[in-house]
Every structure is written in C-alpha cells, then in structure tokens.
Structure 1
C-alpha cells in the first residue's frame, strides 16, 4: 500500500535517530538533569494559585476587577474634545445606554446615583473621568462597549492600577530557563506574567502525544490520537481518544518524547514548587498525536489541524474544547505550494479564528522549501540561542515571521547554556510511568522555539479578552508579534533573515490589550519607491497614498525582488483579497493598477504574498 508524505519533528534528537528522521533531525539530546526524587509526592498536590471568579491571580496580588476611573480620547474636532460639559454629557449618555447610570443599591443597602467628574486632560489629549462609584467587570465592559461604539471616540479604557513587576514563580529549576528570563536573549516572560498567565486559552500541540508528568498533568485537556497506520502508531490500534505517547524510536535508537517537551514549554504547571515553568501556565494544553515511529503522515496531520481548530473530521467526535492556538513543531521538505491538503487545513483553521504556529525547520535552509513552514497564514518561527543570535541550524528566509529561543552551541563554559529546558521521561524506547520516569530534559531546535511563540499567543488572547477586547485574529496576532519583537543581539546575515527579532512576551501582551488602529497603512509619497518590502506567503502589507484633486491618473505598482505578489486597491477603505475596488494578480512581482481621473482622497494598496517575497518595491504615482 502506497503511503503519503511523512513529516518529522523539528528538534534535534539523539544521533541514533538521525538517519530514520531524515534532514530534520541531527545533533543533540540530553537527559542530564534527573527529576528530583526527594519530596516529589509532597509537592505534587501543592496549593492552587489564588482565584477570584474565573480569574487566576499571580503571586499575592489580586487582579484589578473594579474601576471608577476611565480614560477617553476623542478624535480631533469632536465637540466632546473641546468642551468639558459636552464630554460629561456624552460619557453620561454612554453610561445610561450601558445600564450603569441612575440609582444603584449597593450590598450594604445604600442607594447612590452615578456621578461623573472630569479630573484632567492628559498630555496625550485624552481625558480622565472619575465615577462616583466603582463598576464591576460586567458594568465596566458594558460602559466601554458603549463608549467605543461612538465614532467620535478614538479609544476608551480603564485607568488601570499598575504595580511593580514582582511575580517570580517558585519552580526550583526556573534558573535553567534562560529562554524566559535572559534580558536580551529571553522572551521577557516574567513581565508578561504580571498581566496574564493565559487563563481561558487552549493550545493544541500536534506532535508525538504526551506523557503523564507531575509538572504537566493538571494543565492537560482531552486530545486525540490521529495516527491510523499501526506501524507508525506503535500502540496497537488506530485513531482513538488516547493521545498518550508510546514512543517514537526507530531501530536501535531512543524515543524523543518530543510532544511532552513541547507541551511543557507551552504550559507546564508553574508556581507549584516543582521543576520548571511553562510560558502560558494558566492555559490548557491539548495533546494531538500525529507523529510516531519515523514521523507522521500529512493526511493525519491535516485532519488533526481541522479537528483541533474546531472543524469536523469523519469518524472522529467533534472537539469539545477547540484550541485558539495550534503548535506544529514538525515539517517536511517541499514547498507548501506542493502540499495543498495542509494549506487547505490551515486555511480552515485560520477561517475559524485560530492562530497556527509552526517551526521553521533545522536544515540551515530557506524555509520556503519546507512545509508547513512556507504555508500561507501561519506564523513560522526561527530559532535563536543564549547569545541572542540566529541558531546555526535554523531555517531562514522571508517565510520566517519571528524568532524565539531554540538553543545553540555557545563559547560559554556552561554546557547547559545551549539547551531549551522542559519536560521529558527517563525511558529509552517506551516511557517509564510517572512519577518515576519524570525528567527535566534539554533539547535544541526550532521545535523548541515554536512553542515559546504558541504560549505567547495564548497569553495575548487571554490578556485581550480580560481587557474587554475582542479575540485577536491570526493576522493581528502576527502583526503584533512582529511589531513588538526585540532586536537580535547579533543580527542574522542579510542572506539568512529570520524576521524582525526575538519574540517579546511582555510587549506583545501589552499591545494585545490596546485598541487595534483602524487607519493603518504605510504612507506612500508620490513617485517615491518603498524598496526592500519582504513578507511570507499569505502576508498582506498595507500602504496608502493621498491623491489631491485634479489629477488625471493614479498608478499603483510593485516591481523587483523575488517571489510572487498580488495587489488589491480600495478607495477610502482597506482592501483585502476578498473585498476590493481594483486588483492586479499576475505571476511574479510586476503588478500595476491604473486609475484614470482618480477622485481626490486616500487610496489603500494591499500587497499580498502569493508566495514568500523579498526586496519588492512599492510605488504610487499621480
């Protein structure tokens, strides 16, 4: 029976496994830090974090849940911006529509009428309003919804109380996890944890499955085993609801227990006095088994992408806890343009609002030649080391969206510096039962970089919802991650780009709680080319040009560079591939839309990558 393409994990494993797992596996594996045996049972059931309602709190500080101060900024020219009386009237009207104005009886029986006071105008031009009583979370959300519905309002938010960042988990080996805490090479996770731990989010890990582990069990939500081929599965059966990892060894090699390592980076139980921390330890991890002996089939992975993101798969019960984020630390050779089923499955996930994060691969090669790293709509993650530089093995190119710690060999004296530390097992082929087999394991690879980003996405989504914002779209997530990335300590060579820098959890979480600007787009000057435009397949870069009255023509064009782009144009509105006024979609990068006798106003130009593109020039001429 002919078999479909095999996909393998994208971390570096034991050298004995190298040949069987082809180009994606080479190099290092370590198991030098044993699980602490003393006191293990005593801390397994450690107390849960403080909780208020459904909000898990960090450290000893309760999260702010009631507000009596709000910041409102009106657009220039709005009456409420110029007149304090008009400002109070519009805010009061919003409070009335929200159902929070008028008389209210408090818990102690006192009845009060909501009063409003204008405290001051901020340096930014926003106004600070104080209410005569605090609003609970539901009332706060209702008031903000009404304020933001006013087209004259640029933004509205609570006047949050910020406190010094002091949440440090008590996990004893957090010291190994430089990839969270290193000031330049780490992802700034502790600062993000002062805002959120990812509560309410689900991250699906499509990998080798998972192992029972004392530092992971509490954060696991039911997953599924999608491997049909019994030779690959190695568990004696086909698809079923048991996503446990039974081992992926080949020949005389050892098992990687790769999925548990990846899952631990996403969501190891944290602040429990045990082992290590996870990036989004308040989120849930959904193990989806797609890799076994020798890898996994594209057909199984495509079904798993659909199921994990909330779609239906024949013969499989629907996912009752679909994920907001998928992590795929796996890949195979060949462009995604040759892998239509994977692209179609990813398109379905993105259409359901699910962010798909994938590893770039470990071949020191252009990610454009690998799938799903080159697929449209994904966030492809390259790897960096403790030196804040590109990892020598990481794939690169325009397809790479952002970089995250994946480990590297360094010149330092500490051999642990190279590893990404997470969870594993002491078994060589089949796993040793927990807790005896529980281990802390170091690996390197883009497989290790990708779950850092998936965890950060969970933090972003949780923070956005907690701030009363809508869930972020996959495109918004990608834009925020790229815009907030911290620079490389040592920039990658021009020939091997890996996105704008290293993912910054704290900055990304902060950005996720803010309003997404409506009027976006880089401004084009007449007859001045913007050179060096680069993006991944599916990326949409937005530009705008203001055309004065009396012009006889407008020419919007792209040219040069490599790859394939299409352009979509909208007058006084932001276009997309499905909603536009004009378009040009030919093979290559030489695209043009010419408008005769253009109406004066702002024209928006969306440049969409049909494939990854690099060094393209964009110009507007009138």
Structure 2
C-alpha cells in the first residue's frame, strides 16, 4: 500500500464518519441533569461541545493471537523457577552444560528475573521432543520448581471495520458498562493504571494523562529503538510487511483515561486517573521474561538492572495474551504484584477457547475479562470458562462496523503520524473498561478496597444489573456478567448494599463412557482444548491399558492423562507419557483397582485424526524375564535393545564393597542406563539415570548398600553392540591360582599423546595384583577384575604395548596381551 493510497482511504473515512458523528448525541446529551434535592438549586447541564470532525484511521487490522500465534514447535529460551526459599545452585551451569551436550547446543544463564527465576538461552532452536528432554533433565535438580518456555504474547484484538459514531460501550441499560452514571461522582482521580502494551504515543485527547513509564523490551530488534530496556516507553510502531502499525497501547489508554468533556474526540472510563505506559510488545510480540518483569516493576517490585518505579500502579491492564496455560514464572510475577497491593486485569483472549489454556488471563489472582458486544451479547470469538471473572465491551467482532469499540489512535502507517481515532474489536478492548472502572471504584471507596473486594463488587453488581452474557451462559461457554460501573461505584461508596453472589457456571457434562476395547474417534481439537472419558473397570482384572493412537493422516500433537477415581489435570494424574509429535501414547496398569478410570486428552497443539481406547483384561501382562546376573568386573558384550524395549540385569554386592560402578558403552543407537538398589528401576523410579545421547553412560556409588543392585537398559532408539560392566572394590573369593582372561575392552586416544587402556580379567589369588606394562610393574591394585592404565606414547601415530596381570608379589601371571593404539597430539 502506497502513501497515496493510505491518504485516499483516510480521507474517505473521515468524510463518512463526520456525517454520522454530526447526528450522534454528545456526552452531555447522554444523561439528563440530576434532580435537585429539596432546598438545593438544580445543577446546570454541562455545555454541549461543538461537533468535531476528527481524523479517523482506516479499519483496524487483524493483529492478535489468531494471526501471530506463538511458535508451537520451536523454542530458544526457557525460564527456570526455583522452589520457594531456594537459590540457584552453584552447579546449575554445569547441569546446563550437560543438558546442552545432550541436545548438541550451548545453554547459558542470560539473567535473573524479578521473580528470582533465571532466563536461560540456547544456542539454537529446539523442537517439542527436545524441549521435553531439557525439561526432564533440569527438573532432576532438587531446587528447580519449574522449567517453562520463554514464549511470547501478542495483542489480543482481531479484524474489524470502523464507522462507529458514538461510544455505545459506556451507556447503561445493558448496552455497555453504564459509565455515565458513575461519572456523576467519580472520575478515578488519584489512581494510576499501568498499561503493559505497545507503548506511549502522545495524543491531544490524552494530554496530561501520563506518568513516567518504562520500556521493558530487551531485544533491540524487537524494540526498534536501537537499544534494549530503557526509561523511554515510546511506541516505535509494530508494522511489518503485511500490516501497518497498530498503536494498540494508545487505543487501550484512550479507553482507560481519555480526557473527557474537553470538546474533543472521545471519553475515557477513568478520565481523572493517570496512565503509566510500560512497553512490552514490539513487532514480534513480547517475551514472557519481559512481561513478567514489567508486571513486577509496575506494581512497585524490584527488577535487577532496572530503577524502581517511583509511581507504582494501583491497577495493571494486560491487553495481551498467549495460548499457554499460566507458566510458573508468570504466576510468580502476578503473586508479587498482588502482594504489593496492585490489581491485575487481563484480556481473556480471542480464540473461542477455554481461558485456562491462556495466560496471563488464566493465572490465579488475575481478573480475566471476557468480551461482549452491544446489548450484553457475546463478542464473536471471546475466550470463556470458569476462570472468567467479569465481562466488558469488546465490540461485536462482526458487521456492522458501528458495533466495535471507539478510542484514540494514530494515523501513522509505520512511525507515528497525526492524532486519530479508530474502532477496534477484541478482548483487548474489554480489559481497559474494567481497569478504568476499578479506578472509579477505588476512588468511590476512598482507596480502602483491595483487589479481591473490587472484583467481588464488579462481579456481583454486574450480575445484578445485567444477568449473564447472552450466548455464553452454559457449561460449554461461560462469560460471567457485563460490569455496571454505576452500580459498582454506588456500592463502593456505601450508597447501595452489595448484591448477592451470582451463580457459578453449570456443571460440566459427564465424561464420555468408553467400552472395553472399543476405540473412540476424537475429531479435530484446537490447541489447549481437552476431552474427558471414563472406563469402568470390574474386579479381578490383571491389567488395564489406555491407548491414544494417531490414525493414518493424523496431524498435531495430543497427550493422554489417566487417573483413577477422578478427572486428571495438568498436575494430578497417574500416567502422562507426554511424548512429542504425532505419535501414539500408552498408559498401562497391572492389577488395576476396580472402578472408574478417567482419561483426559489434551491437544498440545491443534490436532486431528486421533482415537482413544481403554482395554482391560483378566490376564495380567506376562512377568518380565528374570534379570541377567552380572559378575564383578566381568563385561557383558553385544547387547541389543529395540526402541521402547528394556533389558534387566542384577549384581550381588557384598557388605564390605566400595566404589560400585556401572558402565554402559560402545555400539550404535541410543540406549539409557537406569540403576536402582533393591528393586527393578522404571522410567520414573531409579537411583541413577545419566540420560545422555548415545550409549556411553556411567553410574557411581562410593559406599553402596549390600544386596542386589538392578540395572535397566532402555532403548530410547534401537541400539546394538553395547557392553555393560559392573564392578566394585571389596573382599572376594579368589578366582583361581593366577589371573585369567586378561583383555583390553577398548583403547582411548587422549590429547597430548596420552593413551588410556581399561583392562579386565577374572580370577587371581589374593586381594591385590601387579599390573605389568611392557614387562615392568606400573601399579599394584585391588584384585577387583578391572584397572584403567594411562600412559604417554613416545610418538604421534600407531604403536603397541603389552600387558600382564599377576598375583601381587608373585610370578603367577595371566597370559600376556598386546594392545594396539594410535596416539594423537
């Protein structure tokens, strides 16, 4: 689109909209003057402003989570949250290096966040499967509470057309929020609303309405201001090759606090309040880490590397979101804000989905705002669910154009241009109606109400005035009630009693019953949605198995959760394989309890073509074969294991043993070593699991307990040619008059011409042996069947050496062997 085309479009709209504005009632005409009390003079009606012909921007563009969705299969940074009271351990970087080796990339701590969490950055993007490997590895650290992708959030508005002649969303009678009644007594004076959004744009209809804010975008390219975080929250524009700049934060700010009764433009809900712009959204959205820090800072909390906020906000408005259930680190940020006395209000989102799968609206302690159109109808694509606190005008989201939300804007296609106005739709527009009303309620109460009390007033008065949102009042869709600012202010001021609590959403429909062994098709599922099933398992069953299977042509990634006796959720389940990609998942239980087994299927991202099946059987699974017995220091070679298969071994360890070691090495593919004392190890129960890529893994136990130690070799990917050696130091029965079967399992060429030769043998009489290298004794060692010898070769290149092992101090020796090597610099 050229500049000429933009100019022509704007001019045409200005002409059309000026005509409808001329016929629209002014703010003064929306409400008659209040009747005078006996003995008082009547109030004079405010003078009606002259009709204006403001500049109207072209229709709002479809910026928002539906068109700029976070990447679902690629991750480059994570937020590591620690247990309460715990600090990052000194060996975190060492652990990150180990995980980086597993994934083949460098991982480093980038910075500490305001919540105490740490942001770690990877040297390359990883996919879903690698993400799960990284999370599993880091969660093994006892001080780590959560490991979550540092995703992005985006503006929550969607396509709409302008030409709306008046702000219907402030009217009463079930049309809008009934702001005009509240304005009889309050305007929000003395209170600050932080707008965490695209940043600040000066506008004549917002003149004098701002307090100092901050730019929290840490990526200079996304910030477009040449640096990272700084004290200047100026909106630099978020245009790209497809869309013009949205000036989203300016539209939100106008709804909160546009100057009112000034003979210019539009009105704001809390026009006596101040707006604090906190810039978190650039052209590429905003990262969780930046948004979390901004929430903490806006509430008056401290953020490393950022000066403290001298004017902490009473209310935070978050007209942004992402299709991610509330991350631990974001919940921590909200908790800090709430502890600082700040109310946190967020747009529910525009994906026609359950709000619990979105953040920040799905976080605890956040007032989640659903969207309405004119006359208390459901905004077309608002998110919904039990987590919704209240509803507010978002526009209809459909034609006619005059059913959207009108507020301040800028006409710049890229950088800032002239002041303008525009109609936008989306729950982004709903949230600032609630934020502004919260400021009115605070003023009416004299500032004594806390966030929970304000939310209760908004919720109860909204239901008393408007009932439930039409078309969003059932178990499948729940949007609570449209707020009523006039009644909320009256209750806060003590002029009216608080109405009773509104009803909650009706109970969810019962889970779909599964029949034994019968698969049920799931159909298409959008990201973050779930479906519930139940299988009644009778007494005396040997096993029950639940299968989630992708059929031919299936797409996306869905996960199965299983729990006995109650519905599983994200944190409570008996089984959750949680594998990545379009793959099958299985949950299996031996000798299951009789009764209801509940199944939840969650679409990790949009998916279709899956089926779910529950099967119980009177015959339990065949017992695993008995584990192969290991001998101290004796290597088991040529081990093979298929993908998903497992092999078991056992070693008897005497009471006086020390330095127990299990070493798996060699071969091709990728197997994993699990070790557990006293019982067979499983995928979740073990004493040691290195979990590295390839087959070279070791578990050490300096002071092992006496008894049986079990080994599990699991095929992460099919592997062959593996060797397994278990050894310990301690008293043993002699294996013969002289050591036998001396061998060098492999030879390691180290840097600097050094060569390491692991030796193994059997037998020998006595507790010690002499190790002979090229005919000379180089060590006297415990006769435990293994010894590692390292020497420096005389020259770079190929060479050979001889070894023997003898009973210490005797000539009772093994046969001599020759070891070939190639030394390197």
Q: TM-score scaled to structure 1, two decimals?
A: 0.55
Structure 2 partner of 1:71:
none
After TM superposition, give the deviation of residue 562 of structure 1 in Å.
9.1
1:384–1:271 Cα change, 3 Å = same
Q: Deviation at 1:162?
A: 12
**1:241 deviation in Å?**
1.1
Give, in angstroms, the shift of residue 299 of structure 1: 0.5
The answer to whether structure 1 residue 446 and structure 2 residue 431 are counterparts is: no
CA deviations on 1:377-404 (whole Å, 9 max, x unpaired) are 0100011111421111100001111110
Whichever of the two has the greater Rg, that structure is: 2
Residue 463 in structure 1 maps to residue 444 in structure 2:
yes
Which residues of 2 match residues 484-495 of structure 1 at below 5 A? Answer: 484-485=461-462, 486-488=466-468, 490-495=470-475
- Closer/same/farther in 2, CA of residues 514 and 238 from structure 1, 3 Å limit: same
Q: Would the alpha carbon gap of residues 163 and 404 (structure 1) be closer, same or farther in structure 2, given more than 3 Å must change?
A: farther
Q: Work out which of the residue numbers 484, 500, 520 in structure 2 matches 1:504.
A: 484
Q: Does 1:207 align with 2:197?
A: yes
Structure 1 residue 231: Cα displacement = 1.4
Other-structure match for 1:616: none
SS at match of 1:285: strand
CA–CA distance in structure 1, aligned partners of residues 230 and 193 of structure 2: 20
Q: What is the alpha-carbon distance in structure 1 between the residues aligned to residue 47 and residue 386 of structure 2?
A: 36
Once the two structures are superposed, residues 540-584 of structure 1 have per-residue CA deviations (whole angstroms, 9 ceiling, x without a partner) of: xxxxxxxxxxxxxxxxxxx98997999xxxxxxxxxxxxxxxxxx
Contact 2:469/2:480, CA 8 A, preserved across alignment:
no
| 8 Å Cα contact 2:392-2:431 kept in structure 1 | yes
Match of 2:212 in 1: 222
Q: What corresponds to 2:456 in structure 1?
A: 479
Alignment partners' CA distance in 2, 1:352 and 1:31: 47
Number of residues of Structure 1 aligned to a counterpart in Structure 2: 380
Indicate if the aligned counterparts of 1:35 and 1:439 stay in contact, CA closer than 8 A: no
CA contact (8 A) 2:472 2:478 kept: yes
2: distance between equivalents of 1:386 and 1:498? 18
C-alpha separation between the residues in 2 aligned to 1:392 and 1:366?
A: 14
What is the CA-CA distance between 1:463 and the residue it aligns to? 1.1
SS in 2 for 1:222: strand
Match in the other structure for 1:400? 388
Which residue of 1 is the match for residue 188 of structure 2? 198
Distance in 2 (CA, whole Å) between partners of 1:506 and 1:171 is 27
Whole-angstrom CA distance in 2 between matches of 1:329 and 1:295 = 12
SS in 1 for 2:180: helix
Query: 1:183: how far off?
Result: 2.7
User: What is the match of residue 342 of structure 2?
Assistant: 354
Question: In 2 relative to 1, CA 409–346 (structure 1 residues): closer, same or farther, beyond 3 Å?
Answer: closer
**For 1:305, what is the secondary structure of its paired residue?**
helix
Structure 2 gap segments, 5+ residues each:
2-8, 19-30, 53-163, 509-564, 573-825
Please state how far the C-alpha of 1:253 moved relative to its aligned partner. 2.0
SS at match of 1:333: coil
* C-alpha displacement of 1:197: 0.5
Unaligned 5+ residue runs, structure 1? 1-13, 15-28, 39-57, 65-158, 523-529, 535-558, 567-622
Residue in 1 that maps onto 2:118:
none
Q: 1:208 to 1:356 in 2, by over 3 A?
A: same
Counterparts of 2:341 and 2:334 in 1: how far apart (Å)? 11
Aligned pairs for 1:168-207 within 5 A = 170=49, 172=51, 176-181=166-171, 183-207=173-197
Instruction: Rate the CA distance shift 1:350–1:162 in 2: closer, same or farther, 3 A.
Output: farther
Are residues 1:425 and 2:410 paired? yes
1:232 corresponds to which residue? 222
> Deviation at 1:500?
3.0
User: Per-residue deviation at 1:312?
Assistant: 1.1
Q: Distance in 1 between matches of 2:366 and 2:287?
A: 19
The structure with more helix, counted as a fraction of residues:
1
Over residues 243-264 of structure 1, what are the superposed CA-to-partner deviations in whole Å (9 max), with x where a residue is unaligned?
A: 1100112334211010000000
Distance of aligned partners of 1:203 and 1:34 in 2 relative to their CA distance in 1, 3 Å threshold = farther
Cα deviation, residue 60, structure 1: 10
Cα distance in 2 between the residues matched to 1:323 and 1:447: 19
- What is the CA-CA distance between 1:319 and the residue it aligns to? 1.0
* Offset, 1:169: 7.5
8 Å CA contact 1:332, 1:370 repeated in 2: yes
Q: Does the Cα contact within 8 Å between 1:423 and 1:440 map onto a contact in 2?
A: yes
Against the structure 1 CA distance between its residues 202 and 252, is the aligned structure 2 distance closer, same or farther, given a 3 Å change threshold?
A: same
Cα distance in 2 between the residues matched to 1:515 and 1:351: 29
Q: Secondary structure, in 3 states, of the residue corresponding to 1:450? A: helix
Alpha carbons 1:172, 1:275 under 8 Å: kept: no
2:239 to 238, 249, 264: 249
The structure richer in strand per residue is 2
- C-alpha distance in structure 1 between counterparts of 2:33 and 2:407, whole Å: 26
Measured in 2, the distance between the counterparts of 1:504 and 1:517 equals 14
